Structure 1
């Protein structure tokens, strides 16, 4: 494997470009099932197709920039915070219906605080309690989202699902 290739795949620019290119290609393929039309009479795929092409060009340019001397090396040691945040979001999604919004939000915050080094346990608990109340106030009471507030153990506190 050549040194240039190793340096290419170990840069942030390459992976950002690869992500943009793949997303652009996916959207281009998806929009291909619709009529493109002309600039005078645009079809439903015209704007998504143009934006997809732009995203592909941007991705290829970013990946090519990874060959240059100013390319930023990929810091693999920083993958732990990303993994912790993804885990927290997945747990929130899995626990929302069985535990309710308040407890699922608390789990989200408590797990997310493990991604960094700045939080102490007391701070994390206070933040989890505050954000759980805020989430309930905004989404359930303010916007009327029909999500359970608490587990099924407390049926009177759970709003009815339409």
Structure 2
């Protein structure tokens, strides 16, 4: 069974990213690469659109009435499995009708500056009379941290 969760996969950087970080240090800076010489870094890594959740992007494109998402000219083409997963997620959230077009719920969800899952949660909170609580939770989850980390004193 599918559990509908996302995870971040930790992976090594590519050799081009390593070189870019070295150049960012500049002529006076230092860059230390902490990996064994025997370990070869991949020349390139896969684009983020292939690895990440594109549900919000698909909802936005549907709202813009861009048909045929599989035929769109992306700079980096998303993984077909990821595209299907995004469509399944939108269908699960009742954002799509039986024809694959945006439902009324999907149109309303697309107006929120939130992930589709969070927008659906906020909308569902109206039914259960807990809007204040859910909006507070949504704000806490989407806003950057309000805590400042003090700089370490150097001696």
TM-score normalised by length of structure 1: 0.27
Greater Cα radius of gyration, structure 1 or 2: 1
Answer 1 or 2: higher relative contact order, Cα 8 Å, separation at least 6: 1
Between structures 1 and 2, the one with greater helix share: 1
TM-score normalised by length of structure 2: 0.28
